[in-house]
Amino acid sequence: MDEVTALFNKAKNKLKNSKVLYEHGGYGDSVTLSYYAMFLSAKTLLIKRKCKFGKTHQNLIKEFSRVYVHEDTFDYNIYKYLASTQYLREEVDYNPIDRIDERIAKQKINQAEKFIKESEKFI
């Protein structure tokens, strides 16, 4: 299995695990995994094109936007799910109290599903 396939499979696994956490009431952690499903999908596509994106999440998101949204046809509205979920992921991971409820977690699962589906067009 090549790196691109392995990484994209990992992204899909993150989404699957996000759904499991959601079903068990782990809404904050579910959002974190939904974010990583999108993040790893974006990383997969950048690696596929041999793009350099640095070590930060923000750099990867910017490079993904440049390469796939502005220079290609990745849906901008779906791309925005990645950027907006990064903020929530940071809140969940770094704040002692997060405000993630069932509705938000479900919304992020749905967004991650759309992001992965859109990403598949470029694999």
Distance (Å, whole) CA 24 – CA 22:
5
Distance (Å, whole) CA 92 – CA 29:
7
For 80-95, give one letter per residue: b (16+ CB within 10 A) or e: ebbeebbebbebbeee
For 67-101, where are the alpha helices, taking DSSP H only?
Answer: 76-94
**Maximum alpha-carbon separation in the chain:** 40
34: containing domain: 3-120
pTM: 0.96
pLDDT digits (tens, 9 = 90+) for 83-122: 999 999 999 999 888 889 999 999 999 999 999 999 999 9
pLDDT digits (tens, 9 = 90+) for 31-79: 999 999 999 999 999 999 999 999 999 999 999 999 999 999 999 999 9
The CATH code of the domain that includes 105 is 1.20.120.330
- How many domains would you assign to the chain? 1
